[in-house]
Structure 1
Amino acid sequence: MRALRTASLLALTTATLLAATGVAAAHGTRWQQVGHTTAENRISGEGLATLRLPGHAPEIVYRNGATIPQPLKDEGWGHVGDPDSLRGYVFDVYQDTRTATPTTKMYLVTKPDGTTTEFVHPLQPDEPAANANAQVAATPDGQWLVSGPLGEVDRLFVSPTPFLNPRGPRQAGDLPVAARIHLDHHIRSAQGCDFVGATRLICATSDPYNDLYPTNLQLLQIDLARPLTGRDVTARVRELGQVPLVSTCTGTFTPEGVDYDDGMLRVEVVPPSPCNTVTDVYSFERR
Protein backbone atom coordinates (compact mmCIF):
# COMPACT_ATOMS: atom_id res chain seq x y z
CA MET A 1 0.00 0.00 0.00
CA ARG A 2 1.49 3.29 -1.02
CA ALA A 3 0.98 6.06 1.49
CA LEU A 4 -1.24 9.07 0.90
CA ARG A 5 1.75 11.14 1.97
CA THR A 6 5.25 9.75 2.39
CA ALA A 7 8.36 11.01 4.06
CA SER A 8 11.43 12.15 2.17
CA LEU A 9 14.33 11.10 4.33
CA LEU A 10 18.07 10.60 4.06
CA ALA A 11 18.96 6.92 4.16
CA LEU A 12 20.38 5.76 7.45
CA THR A 13 23.48 3.60 7.56
CA THR A 14 22.42 1.47 10.50
CA ALA A 15 19.13 -0.07 11.52
CA THR A 16 16.92 1.46 14.17
CA LEU A 17 16.35 -0.91 17.08
CA LEU A 18 12.81 -0.66 18.38
CA ALA A 19 12.54 -0.32 22.15
CA ALA A 20 9.05 -0.38 23.60
CA THR A 21 7.84 2.59 25.59
CA GLY A 22 4.87 3.35 27.82
CA VAL A 23 2.73 0.27 28.45
CA ALA A 24 5.21 -2.06 26.72
CA ALA A 25 8.07 -0.89 28.93
CA ALA A 26 5.94 -1.44 32.01
CA HIS A 27 5.56 -5.07 30.96
CA GLY A 28 9.28 -5.44 30.24
CA THR A 29 8.70 -5.97 26.50
CA ARG A 30 11.32 -4.96 23.96
CA TRP A 31 11.38 -5.74 20.25
CA GLN A 32 14.90 -6.30 19.01
CA GLN A 33 15.91 -6.68 15.38
CA VAL A 34 17.28 -10.18 14.74
CA GLY A 35 17.26 -10.44 10.97
CA HIS A 36 16.88 -8.83 7.57
CA THR A 37 16.02 -10.18 4.14
CA THR A 38 14.67 -8.86 0.86
CA ALA A 39 11.92 -9.80 -1.58
CA GLU A 40 11.71 -8.86 -5.25
CA ASN A 41 9.35 -5.96 -5.82
CA ARG A 42 7.60 -7.85 -8.62
CA ILE A 43 5.78 -9.78 -5.88
CA SER A 44 6.21 -7.60 -2.77
CA GLY A 45 5.61 -4.10 -1.54
CA GLU A 46 1.99 -4.11 -0.34
CA GLY A 47 2.01 -6.66 2.47
CA LEU A 48 3.01 -10.10 3.70
CA ALA A 49 1.70 -13.00 5.78
CA THR A 50 2.88 -16.43 6.91
CA LEU A 51 0.82 -19.23 5.38
CA ARG A 52 0.75 -22.58 7.17
CA LEU A 53 -0.85 -25.40 5.20
CA PRO A 54 -1.12 -28.93 6.59
CA GLY A 55 1.79 -31.06 5.42
CA HIS A 56 3.73 -28.06 4.07
CA ALA A 57 6.51 -25.92 5.45
CA PRO A 58 5.49 -22.38 6.47
CA GLU A 59 5.53 -19.98 3.52
CA ILE A 60 5.64 -16.18 3.49
CA VAL A 61 3.22 -14.85 0.90
CA TYR A 62 3.66 -11.33 -0.46
CA ARG A 63 1.27 -8.92 -2.11
CA ASN A 64 1.56 -6.10 -4.61
CA GLY A 65 -0.35 -4.81 -7.61
CA ALA A 66 1.07 -7.48 -9.90
CA THR A 67 -0.26 -10.27 -7.66
CA ILE A 68 -3.89 -9.19 -8.14
CA PRO A 69 -5.61 -11.78 -10.36
CA GLN A 70 -6.83 -10.30 -13.63
CA PRO A 71 -10.50 -11.23 -13.02
CA LEU A 72 -10.44 -9.12 -9.84
CA LYS A 73 -8.86 -6.20 -11.72
CA ASP A 74 -11.62 -6.51 -14.31
CA GLU A 75 -14.16 -6.16 -11.50
CA GLY A 76 -12.49 -2.93 -10.39
CA TRP A 77 -10.45 -4.22 -7.44
CA GLY A 78 -7.17 -2.58 -8.41
CA HIS A 79 -5.49 -2.18 -5.03
CA VAL A 80 -4.57 -4.85 -2.49
CA GLY A 81 -3.51 -4.22 1.10
CA ASP A 82 -1.60 -6.09 3.79
CA PRO A 83 -3.06 -9.62 4.17
CA ASP A 84 -3.18 -12.06 7.05
CA SER A 85 -3.33 -15.83 7.31
CA LEU A 86 -4.56 -18.28 9.93
CA ARG A 87 -5.23 -22.04 9.91
CA GLY A 88 -4.36 -22.24 6.22
CA TYR A 89 -6.80 -19.49 5.25
CA VAL A 90 -5.54 -16.29 3.60
CA PHE A 91 -7.44 -13.04 4.07
CA ASP A 92 -6.84 -10.32 1.47
CA VAL A 93 -8.29 -6.83 1.40
CA TYR A 94 -9.08 -4.89 -1.77
CA GLN A 95 -9.96 -1.33 -2.70
CA ASP A 96 -12.19 -0.24 -5.56
CA THR A 97 -9.93 1.85 -7.82
CA ARG A 98 -12.45 2.28 -10.63
CA THR A 99 -14.75 4.62 -8.72
CA ALA A 100 -13.70 8.14 -7.74
CA THR A 101 -15.48 7.82 -4.40
CA PRO A 102 -15.75 4.10 -3.62
CA THR A 103 -18.82 2.85 -1.79
CA THR A 104 -17.61 -0.72 -1.19
CA LYS A 105 -14.55 -2.66 -0.11
CA MET A 106 -13.80 -6.32 -0.64
CA TYR A 107 -12.37 -9.16 1.41
CA LEU A 108 -11.05 -12.13 -0.55
CA VAL A 109 -10.80 -15.35 1.46
CA THR A 110 -8.67 -18.20 0.13
CA LYS A 111 -9.41 -21.55 1.77
CA PRO A 112 -6.69 -24.12 2.46
CA ASP A 113 -7.81 -26.00 -0.68
CA GLY A 114 -7.10 -22.90 -2.80
CA THR A 115 -10.70 -21.93 -3.56
CA THR A 116 -11.59 -18.26 -3.13
CA THR A 117 -14.68 -16.34 -2.05
CA GLU A 118 -15.35 -12.61 -2.40
CA PHE A 119 -17.06 -10.69 0.38
CA VAL A 120 -18.07 -7.20 -0.76
CA HIS A 121 -18.97 -4.80 2.03
CA PRO A 122 -20.91 -1.53 1.51
CA LEU A 123 -19.02 1.19 3.37
CA GLN A 124 -20.68 2.55 6.48
CA PRO A 125 -20.86 6.33 7.09
CA ASP A 126 -17.78 6.28 9.35
CA GLU A 127 -15.67 4.15 6.97
CA PRO A 128 -13.43 6.44 4.86
CA ALA A 129 -13.63 5.70 1.15
CA ALA A 130 -9.99 6.39 0.27
CA ASN A 131 -7.98 3.18 0.64
CA ALA A 132 -10.98 1.65 2.35
CA ASN A 133 -8.94 -1.44 3.10
CA ALA A 134 -5.28 -0.83 3.93
CA GLN A 135 -4.76 -3.94 6.02
CA VAL A 136 -6.48 -6.84 7.76
CA ALA A 137 -5.50 -8.82 10.87
CA ALA A 138 -7.10 -11.98 12.20
CA THR A 139 -7.45 -12.48 15.95
CA PRO A 140 -5.43 -15.46 17.26
CA ASP A 141 -8.65 -17.39 17.95
CA GLY A 142 -9.70 -16.89 14.33
CA GLN A 143 -13.06 -15.37 15.21
CA TRP A 144 -12.59 -11.78 14.07
CA LEU A 145 -10.97 -9.73 11.32
CA VAL A 146 -9.75 -6.21 12.11
CA SER A 147 -9.26 -3.81 9.21
CA GLY A 148 -8.65 -0.12 8.69
CA PRO A 149 -8.11 2.51 5.99
CA LEU A 150 -5.32 4.93 5.29
CA GLY A 151 -5.55 8.53 6.38
CA GLU A 152 -5.90 9.76 9.96
CA VAL A 153 -8.38 7.63 11.90
CA ASP A 154 -9.55 7.09 15.46
CA ARG A 155 -11.03 3.62 15.03
CA LEU A 156 -10.55 0.23 13.42
CA PHE A 157 -13.33 -2.01 12.13
CA VAL A 158 -14.17 -5.54 13.30
CA SER A 159 -15.97 -8.20 11.24
CA PRO A 160 -16.72 -11.88 11.93
CA THR A 161 -14.24 -14.13 10.16
CA PRO A 162 -15.83 -15.98 7.23
CA PHE A 163 -15.90 -19.77 7.62
CA LEU A 164 -14.22 -19.68 11.07
CA ASN A 165 -16.76 -17.69 13.08
CA PRO A 166 -20.34 -19.06 13.25
CA ARG A 167 -21.51 -15.44 12.93
CA GLY A 168 -19.50 -14.96 9.74
CA PRO A 169 -20.76 -15.59 6.21
CA ARG A 170 -19.98 -18.84 4.43
CA GLN A 171 -20.83 -17.77 0.91
CA ALA A 172 -20.18 -14.69 -1.22
CA GLY A 173 -21.95 -11.56 0.00
CA ASP A 174 -21.55 -8.79 2.55
CA LEU A 175 -19.04 -9.05 5.36
CA PRO A 176 -20.68 -6.72 7.88
CA VAL A 177 -18.99 -4.58 10.50
CA ALA A 178 -19.78 -6.13 13.87
CA ALA A 179 -17.90 -3.69 16.10
CA ARG A 180 -15.33 -0.94 16.25
CA ILE A 181 -12.07 -0.52 18.13
CA HIS A 182 -12.03 3.04 19.47
CA LEU A 183 -8.45 4.31 19.76
CA ASP A 184 -7.40 6.69 22.52
CA HIS A 185 -4.95 8.36 20.13
CA HIS A 186 -5.29 9.00 16.41
CA ILE A 187 -3.13 7.03 13.99
CA ARG A 188 -2.25 7.98 10.42
CA SER A 189 -1.70 5.71 7.41
CA ALA A 190 -1.36 2.36 9.15
CA GLN A 191 -0.14 0.21 6.26
CA GLY A 192 0.04 -3.14 8.05
CA CYS A 193 -1.12 -4.64 11.35
CA ASP A 194 -1.04 -8.03 13.02
CA PHE A 195 -2.02 -9.48 16.38
CA VAL A 196 0.83 -10.56 18.66
CA GLY A 197 -1.61 -11.63 21.39
CA ALA A 198 -5.33 -11.75 22.06
CA THR A 199 -5.46 -8.05 22.95
CA ARG A 200 -2.40 -6.54 21.27
CA LEU A 201 -1.85 -5.34 17.70
CA ILE A 202 1.40 -4.11 16.20
CA CYS A 203 1.02 -1.73 13.25
CA ALA A 204 3.49 -0.01 10.91
CA THR A 205 2.60 3.39 9.47
CA SER A 206 3.77 5.50 6.58
CA ASP A 207 2.89 8.64 8.55
CA PRO A 208 5.46 11.20 7.33
CA TYR A 209 4.92 13.64 10.19
CA ASN A 210 5.71 13.76 13.91
CA ASP A 211 2.67 15.72 15.09
CA LEU A 212 0.90 12.61 16.41
CA TYR A 213 3.98 10.87 17.84
CA PRO A 214 7.60 11.86 18.51
CA THR A 215 8.83 10.17 15.31
CA ASN A 216 7.40 9.56 11.85
CA LEU A 217 7.07 6.18 10.10
CA GLN A 218 6.15 4.63 13.42
CA LEU A 219 5.73 1.14 14.72
CA LEU A 220 2.68 1.33 16.98
CA GLN A 221 1.38 -0.92 19.73
CA ILE A 222 -2.42 -1.04 20.17
CA ASP A 223 -3.66 -2.62 23.40
CA LEU A 224 -7.34 -3.57 23.53
CA ALA A 225 -9.21 -3.26 26.82
CA ARG A 226 -10.40 -6.87 26.38
CA PRO A 227 -10.44 -9.60 23.73
CA LEU A 228 -12.81 -9.03 20.85
CA THR A 229 -16.32 -10.47 21.19
CA GLY A 230 -18.21 -8.57 18.50
CA ARG A 231 -18.86 -5.54 20.67
CA ASP A 232 -17.17 -2.14 20.56
CA VAL A 233 -13.98 -1.93 22.59
CA THR A 234 -11.51 0.81 23.52
CA ALA A 235 -7.78 0.58 22.95
CA ARG A 236 -4.60 2.39 24.01
CA VAL A 237 -2.05 3.33 21.36
CA ARG A 238 1.67 3.66 22.11
CA GLU A 239 4.60 4.32 19.80
CA LEU A 240 7.40 1.75 19.90
CA GLY A 241 9.79 3.69 17.67
CA GLN A 242 10.61 4.26 14.04
CA VAL A 243 10.80 1.39 11.57
CA PRO A 244 14.28 0.63 10.19
CA LEU A 245 15.30 2.98 7.38
CA VAL A 246 18.39 1.49 5.78
CA SER A 247 19.46 2.11 2.18
CA THR A 248 22.28 3.39 0.02
CA CYS A 249 19.63 5.47 -1.79
CA THR A 250 18.15 8.67 -0.43
CA GLY A 251 14.54 9.70 -0.64
CA THR A 252 11.19 8.22 0.34
CA PHE A 253 10.84 5.12 2.50
CA THR A 254 7.41 3.47 2.74
CA PRO A 255 6.62 0.99 5.55
CA GLU A 256 4.13 -1.61 4.37
CA GLY A 257 3.08 -5.00 5.72
CA VAL A 258 3.35 -6.46 9.22
CA ASP A 259 3.36 -10.19 9.99
CA TYR A 260 3.61 -12.06 13.28
CA ASP A 261 4.13 -15.81 13.40
CA ASP A 262 5.62 -18.17 15.98
CA GLY A 263 7.22 -15.39 18.01
CA MET A 264 8.69 -13.56 15.00
CA LEU A 265 7.53 -10.08 13.99
CA ARG A 266 8.26 -9.03 10.39
CA VAL A 267 7.99 -5.50 9.06
CA GLU A 268 8.12 -4.69 5.36
CA VAL A 269 9.75 -1.42 4.21
CA VAL A 270 10.06 -0.25 0.60
CA PRO A 271 13.35 1.69 0.17
CA PRO A 272 13.76 4.84 -1.94
CA SER A 273 14.10 4.70 -5.72
CA PRO A 274 16.13 3.32 -7.47
CA CYS A 275 16.81 0.87 -4.63
CA ASN A 276 13.14 -0.15 -4.60
CA THR A 277 13.77 -3.08 -6.93
CA VAL A 278 13.50 -5.08 -3.69
CA THR A 279 11.47 -4.75 -0.51
CA ASP A 280 13.28 -4.96 2.83
CA VAL A 281 11.83 -7.30 5.45
CA TYR A 282 13.09 -6.80 9.01
CA SER A 283 12.59 -9.46 11.68
CA PHE A 284 12.16 -8.79 15.40
CA GLU A 285 11.82 -10.87 18.53
CA ARG A 286 10.66 -9.92 22.02
CA ARG A 287 13.43 -9.60 24.57
Structure 2
Amino acid sequence: MRALAVATALLLFFAGIASAATGPWQPVGSDVARPLDESQGLAVVERPGGTSVRYTGIATIPADVAARGWNHVGDPGAGHGYYVEPYQRDDRGVKLFRVEAPDGSWAEYTHELESWEATNNSFAAVSPDGRWLVAGEWGTTDRLLVHPMPGSVHQDPAVNLPYASAIRLDRPARDIQGCDFVTETQLLCSSNDPAGDLFGVTKPLLQLDLAAPVGGEDVSAAVTALGQLPLESACDGEFETEGIDYDERDGTLRVVVLSPGVCVAFDSKTWRFQRN
Protein backbone atom coordinates (compact mmCIF):
# COMPACT_ATOMS: atom_id res chain seq x y z
CA MET A 1 0.00 0.00 0.00
CA ARG A 2 2.85 2.37 0.82
CA ALA A 3 4.42 1.79 -2.62
CA LEU A 4 1.05 2.39 -4.26
CA ALA A 5 0.61 5.64 -2.34
CA VAL A 6 4.06 6.83 -3.37
CA ALA A 7 3.43 5.94 -7.00
CA THR A 8 0.10 7.76 -6.92
CA ALA A 9 1.70 10.84 -5.41
CA LEU A 10 4.37 10.86 -8.12
CA LEU A 11 1.75 10.54 -10.84
CA LEU A 12 -0.19 13.44 -9.39
CA PHE A 13 2.97 15.52 -9.15
CA PHE A 14 3.97 14.95 -12.77
CA ALA A 15 0.37 15.49 -13.89
CA GLY A 16 0.52 18.84 -12.14
CA ILE A 17 3.74 19.69 -13.96
CA ALA A 18 2.18 18.76 -17.29
CA SER A 19 -0.90 20.88 -16.61
CA ALA A 20 1.38 23.87 -16.07
CA ALA A 21 2.56 23.75 -19.70
CA THR A 22 2.87 27.22 -21.21
CA GLY A 23 1.84 26.97 -24.84
CA PRO A 24 4.38 24.83 -26.70
CA TRP A 25 6.77 24.88 -23.72
CA GLN A 26 6.46 21.88 -21.42
CA PRO A 27 8.02 21.95 -17.92
CA VAL A 28 10.46 19.06 -17.62
CA GLY A 29 11.89 19.72 -14.17
CA SER A 30 13.40 22.32 -11.87
CA ASP A 31 16.49 23.15 -9.86
CA VAL A 32 16.69 24.99 -6.54
CA ALA A 33 17.35 28.73 -7.00
CA ARG A 34 19.31 30.25 -4.13
CA PRO A 35 17.72 33.58 -3.08
CA LEU A 36 20.95 35.54 -2.59
CA ASP A 37 22.95 34.70 -5.70
CA GLU A 38 20.49 33.03 -8.12
CA SER A 39 17.37 35.13 -7.66
CA GLN A 40 17.45 37.69 -10.46
CA GLY A 41 18.20 35.70 -13.57
CA LEU A 42 20.67 33.67 -15.56
CA ALA A 43 22.52 33.42 -18.85
CA VAL A 44 24.43 30.67 -20.66
CA VAL A 45 27.86 31.90 -21.77
CA GLU A 46 29.44 29.92 -24.59
CA ARG A 47 33.15 30.33 -25.30
CA PRO A 48 35.80 28.17 -26.98
CA GLY A 49 37.20 27.26 -23.57
CA GLY A 50 33.88 25.98 -22.30
CA THR A 51 30.28 26.87 -21.44
CA SER A 52 29.05 28.22 -18.12
CA VAL A 53 25.69 29.21 -16.63
CA ARG A 54 25.87 32.56 -14.81
CA TYR A 55 23.28 33.67 -12.25
CA THR A 56 22.73 37.07 -10.67
CA GLY A 57 21.35 38.10 -7.28
CA ILE A 58 21.98 40.66 -4.59
CA ALA A 59 25.04 38.73 -3.42
CA THR A 60 26.65 38.84 -6.89
CA ILE A 61 26.82 42.65 -7.02
CA PRO A 62 30.50 43.62 -6.61
CA ALA A 63 31.09 45.72 -3.50
CA ASP A 64 32.62 48.61 -5.44
CA VAL A 65 29.65 48.69 -7.83
CA ALA A 66 27.17 48.84 -4.94
CA ALA A 67 29.26 51.52 -3.23
CA ARG A 68 28.89 53.69 -6.33
CA GLY A 69 25.10 53.51 -6.13
CA TRP A 70 24.11 50.63 -8.40
CA ASN A 71 22.22 48.58 -5.84
CA HIS A 72 20.12 46.34 -8.11
CA VAL A 73 21.19 43.83 -10.75
CA GLY A 74 18.74 42.41 -13.26
CA ASP A 75 18.56 39.37 -15.53
CA PRO A 76 21.86 39.04 -17.44
CA GLY A 77 22.30 38.30 -21.12
CA ALA A 78 24.96 36.64 -23.23
CA GLY A 79 25.90 36.08 -26.85
CA HIS A 80 28.97 35.60 -29.03
CA GLY A 81 31.09 35.07 -25.92
CA TYR A 82 30.03 38.32 -24.28
CA TYR A 83 28.27 38.39 -20.91
CA VAL A 84 26.22 41.45 -19.82
CA GLU A 85 24.88 42.37 -16.38
CA PRO A 86 22.34 45.25 -16.18
CA TYR A 87 22.34 47.53 -13.11
CA GLN A 88 20.13 50.35 -11.89
CA ARG A 89 20.21 52.90 -9.09
CA ASP A 90 17.55 54.73 -7.06
CA ASP A 91 18.50 58.34 -7.81
CA ARG A 92 17.55 58.39 -11.52
CA GLY A 93 21.22 58.32 -12.35
CA VAL A 94 22.75 56.53 -15.30
CA LYS A 95 22.19 52.85 -15.93
CA LEU A 96 25.16 50.52 -15.91
CA PHE A 97 25.97 47.53 -18.09
CA ARG A 98 28.95 45.48 -16.87
CA VAL A 99 30.34 43.50 -19.78
CA GLU A 100 32.73 40.58 -19.70
CA ALA A 101 34.43 40.08 -23.07
CA PRO A 102 35.24 36.65 -24.52
CA ASP A 103 38.82 36.99 -23.22
CA GLY A 104 37.55 37.38 -19.63
CA SER A 105 38.23 41.11 -19.30
CA TRP A 106 35.55 43.39 -17.80
CA ALA A 107 34.42 46.88 -18.79
CA GLU A 108 31.63 49.17 -17.59
CA TYR A 109 29.33 50.98 -20.00
CA THR A 110 26.90 53.62 -18.75
CA HIS A 111 23.71 54.85 -20.36
CA GLU A 112 22.29 58.29 -19.59
CA LEU A 113 18.50 58.09 -19.33
CA GLU A 114 16.36 59.67 -22.02
CA SER A 115 13.84 62.19 -20.66
CA TRP A 116 11.01 59.66 -21.11
CA GLU A 117 12.93 56.60 -19.93
CA ALA A 118 12.18 54.72 -16.70
CA THR A 119 14.93 54.25 -14.12
CA ASN A 120 14.61 50.47 -14.04
CA ASN A 121 17.08 48.23 -15.85
CA SER A 122 15.41 44.86 -15.47
CA PHE A 123 17.24 42.70 -18.04
CA ALA A 124 19.71 42.47 -20.90
CA ALA A 125 19.32 40.29 -24.00
CA VAL A 126 21.91 40.03 -26.79
CA SER A 127 20.57 39.79 -30.34
CA PRO A 128 21.49 36.64 -32.29
CA ASP A 129 23.79 38.61 -34.60
CA GLY A 130 25.63 40.02 -31.57
CA ARG A 131 25.20 43.63 -32.69
CA TRP A 132 22.40 44.83 -30.40
CA LEU A 133 21.46 44.76 -26.74
CA VAL A 134 17.79 44.77 -25.71
CA ALA A 135 16.97 46.10 -22.24
CA GLY A 136 13.77 46.37 -20.23
CA GLU A 137 12.03 48.83 -17.95
CA TRP A 138 9.40 48.11 -15.28
CA GLY A 139 5.68 48.65 -14.82
CA THR A 140 3.19 48.61 -17.67
CA THR A 141 5.00 49.28 -20.91
CA ASP A 142 4.57 49.11 -24.68
CA ARG A 143 8.28 49.01 -25.56
CA LEU A 144 11.66 47.41 -25.03
CA LEU A 145 14.83 49.47 -25.50
CA VAL A 146 17.61 48.70 -27.99
CA HIS A 147 21.25 49.78 -27.68
CA PRO A 148 24.30 49.07 -29.82
CA MET A 149 26.05 46.09 -28.25
CA PRO A 150 28.54 47.31 -25.64
CA GLY A 151 31.98 45.79 -25.97
CA SER A 152 31.77 44.81 -29.62
CA VAL A 153 29.85 47.51 -31.52
CA HIS A 154 30.01 50.27 -28.89
CA GLN A 155 33.61 49.87 -27.79
CA ASP A 156 34.48 52.97 -25.72
CA PRO A 157 33.33 52.77 -22.08
CA ALA A 158 34.05 56.50 -21.67
CA VAL A 159 31.33 57.39 -24.20
CA ASN A 160 27.63 57.19 -23.29
CA LEU A 161 25.94 54.00 -24.49
CA PRO A 162 23.19 55.51 -26.66
CA TYR A 163 19.57 54.55 -27.13
CA ALA A 164 19.22 53.25 -30.69
CA SER A 165 15.62 52.15 -31.20
CA ALA A 166 12.67 50.37 -29.61
CA ILE A 167 10.74 47.16 -29.97
CA ARG A 168 7.16 48.47 -30.08
CA LEU A 169 4.71 46.04 -28.51
CA ASP A 170 1.28 45.73 -30.13
CA ARG A 171 -0.29 45.50 -26.67
CA PRO A 172 0.92 46.52 -23.21
CA ALA A 173 2.81 44.13 -20.96
CA ARG A 174 3.52 44.51 -17.27
CA ASP A 175 6.59 43.93 -15.09
CA ILE A 176 8.80 42.14 -17.59
CA GLN A 177 11.64 40.60 -15.59
CA GLY A 178 13.64 39.07 -18.41
CA CYS A 179 13.71 38.30 -22.12
CA ASP A 180 15.88 36.16 -24.35
CA PHE A 181 16.04 35.56 -28.08
CA VAL A 182 14.89 32.21 -29.46
CA THR A 183 15.37 33.32 -33.08
CA GLU A 184 16.34 36.65 -34.63
CA THR A 185 12.64 37.59 -34.72
CA GLN A 186 11.29 35.94 -31.58
CA LEU A 187 11.79 36.69 -27.90
CA LEU A 188 10.44 34.86 -24.87
CA CYS A 189 9.88 37.01 -21.77
CA SER A 190 8.98 36.32 -18.14
CA SER A 191 6.38 38.68 -16.68
CA ASN A 192 5.77 39.21 -12.98
CA ASP A 193 2.33 40.71 -13.66
CA PRO A 194 0.37 40.27 -10.40
CA ALA A 195 -2.99 41.49 -11.72
CA GLY A 196 -3.73 39.32 -14.75
CA ASP A 197 -5.98 41.88 -16.42
CA LEU A 198 -3.81 42.30 -19.53
CA PHE A 199 -3.72 38.66 -20.65
CA GLY A 200 -6.23 36.93 -18.39
CA VAL A 201 -3.48 35.23 -16.36
CA THR A 202 -0.94 36.31 -13.75
CA LYS A 203 2.82 35.66 -14.05
CA PRO A 204 2.70 34.78 -17.76
CA LEU A 205 5.34 33.55 -20.16
CA LEU A 206 5.17 35.99 -23.07
CA GLN A 207 6.15 35.40 -26.69
CA LEU A 208 7.16 38.42 -28.78
CA ASP A 209 7.13 37.92 -32.55
CA LEU A 210 9.06 40.72 -34.24
CA ALA A 211 8.22 42.06 -37.69
CA ALA A 212 11.97 42.20 -38.45
CA PRO A 213 15.27 41.67 -36.61
CA VAL A 214 16.22 44.41 -34.17
CA GLY A 215 18.44 47.21 -35.43
CA GLY A 216 18.79 50.97 -35.56
CA GLU A 217 15.12 51.52 -36.44
CA ASP A 218 12.02 50.73 -34.40
CA VAL A 219 10.42 47.34 -35.02
CA SER A 220 6.94 46.17 -34.05
CA ALA A 221 6.25 43.00 -32.07
CA ALA A 222 3.09 40.93 -31.61
CA VAL A 223 2.74 39.87 -27.97
CA THR A 224 1.16 36.54 -26.99
CA ALA A 225 0.71 35.14 -23.48
CA LEU A 226 1.53 31.41 -23.58
CA GLY A 227 0.22 30.69 -20.09
CA GLN A 228 1.09 31.04 -16.43
CA LEU A 229 4.56 30.07 -15.29
CA PRO A 230 4.67 27.28 -12.67
CA LEU A 231 3.87 28.50 -9.15
CA GLU A 232 4.69 25.67 -6.73
CA SER A 233 5.79 26.04 -3.11
CA ALA A 234 5.19 24.77 0.41
CA CYS A 235 4.11 28.35 1.23
CA ASP A 236 1.06 30.29 0.12
CA GLY A 237 1.38 33.87 -1.02
CA GLU A 238 2.79 36.00 -3.82
CA PHE A 239 5.37 34.37 -6.07
CA GLU A 240 7.86 36.47 -8.01
CA THR A 241 8.92 35.47 -11.49
CA GLU A 242 12.43 36.56 -12.37
CA GLY A 243 14.86 36.12 -15.25
CA ILE A 244 14.82 33.84 -18.27
CA ASP A 245 17.31 32.15 -20.58
CA TYR A 246 17.08 30.12 -23.77
CA ASP A 247 19.93 27.64 -24.22
CA GLU A 248 20.61 27.15 -27.91
CA ARG A 249 22.68 24.03 -27.26
CA ASP A 250 19.73 21.80 -26.45
CA GLY A 251 16.67 24.06 -26.72
CA THR A 252 16.16 24.32 -22.96
CA LEU A 253 14.26 27.32 -21.64
CA ARG A 254 14.91 28.28 -18.00
CA VAL A 255 12.90 30.66 -15.83
CA VAL A 256 13.56 31.61 -12.20
CA VAL A 257 10.48 31.71 -9.92
CA LEU A 258 10.88 32.80 -6.28
CA SER A 259 8.63 31.27 -3.64
CA PRO A 260 6.49 33.29 -1.21
CA GLY A 261 7.41 34.21 2.36
CA VAL A 262 9.98 32.15 4.22
CA CYS A 263 9.91 29.52 1.47
CA VAL A 264 11.95 31.85 -0.73
CA ALA A 265 14.97 30.54 1.17
CA PHE A 266 14.57 26.85 0.36
CA ASP A 267 12.10 26.04 -2.43
CA SER A 268 12.51 28.79 -5.01
CA LYS A 269 13.11 27.20 -8.40
CA THR A 270 14.73 27.58 -11.78
CA TRP A 271 12.21 25.81 -14.01
CA ARG A 272 13.36 23.96 -17.11
CA PHE A 273 11.17 23.73 -20.22
CA GLN A 274 11.39 21.96 -23.55
CA ARG A 275 9.30 22.69 -26.61
CA ASN A 276 6.59 20.12 -27.33
TM-score (norm 1): 0.86
What is the letter of the counterpart of residue 153 of structure 1?
Answer: T
Structure 1 residue 230: deviation in Å? Answer: 1.3
Distance 2:100 2:113 in 1: 22
| Partner secondary structure for residue 93 of structure 1 | strand
Distance 1:39 1:254 in 2: 12
Aligned to 2:115: 125
Give the count of matched residue pairs. 259
Q: Map 1:258-269 to 2 at 5 A.
A: 258-262=244-248, 263-269=251-257
| Partner secondary structure for residue 64 of structure 2 | helix
1:282 to 256, 268, 271: 271
CA contact (8 A) 1:117 1:172 kept: no
CA contact (8 A) 1:118 1:173 kept: no
2:198 to 212, 217, 236: 212
What is the letter of the counterpart of residue 133 of structure 2?
Answer: L
What's the C-alpha RMSD, in Å, of the aligned pairs?
Answer: 1.6
Structure 1 residue 211: deviation in Å? Answer: 1.2
1:273 aligned onto 2:261: yes
Aligned to 2:146: 158
| Partner secondary structure for residue 71 of structure 2 | strand
Give the fraction of aligned pairs with identical amino acids, expressed as a percent. 41
Aligned to 1:140: 128
1:187 aligned onto 2:179: no
Aligned to 1:46: 40
Distance 1:114 1:75 in 2: 23
Aligned to 1:79: 72
Q: Judge which range, 117-126 or 249-258, deviates more.
A: 117-126
Distance 1:241 1:81 in 2: 23
Structure 1 residue 173: deviation in Å? Answer: 3.0
Q: Considering Cα pairs closer than 8 Å and 6+ residues apart, tell me whether 1 or 2 has the greater RCO.
A: 1
Specify which structure has the higher proportion of helix. Answer: 2
Distance 1:258 1:172 in 2: 30
| Partner secondary structure for residue 238 of structure 2 | strand
Show structure 1 runs of 5+ residues with no match: 1-12, 21-29
Task: Look at both structures and tell me which one has the larger radius of gyration over its CA atoms.
Answer: 2
Distance 1:38 1:233 in 2: 37
**What are the superposed Cα offsets for residues 10-51 of structure 1, whole Å, 9 maximum, x if unpaired?**
xxx73353342xxxxxxxxx1111221113223111111112
1:69 aligned onto 2:62: yes
Structure 1 residue 134: deviation in Å? Answer: 0.4
| Partner secondary structure for residue 145 of structure 1 | strand
Distance 1:50 1:19 in 2: 22
Show structure 2 runs of 5+ residues with no match: 1-12
CA contact (8 A) 2:135 2:146 kept: yes
What is the letter of the counterpart of residue 164 of structure 1?
Answer: S
**What are the superposed Cα offsets for residues 230-255 of structure 1, whole Å, 9 maximum, x if unpaired?**
11111110100000001111111000
TM-score (norm 2): 0.89
**What are the superposed Cα offsets for residues 83-129 of structure 1, whole Å, 9 maximum, x if unpaired?**
011122111100013x2xx0421111111233211111111122112
**What are the superposed Cα offsets for residues 61-84 of structure 1, whole Å, 9 maximum, x if unpaired?**
110111100110111010000001
Distance 2:272 2:158 in 1: 36
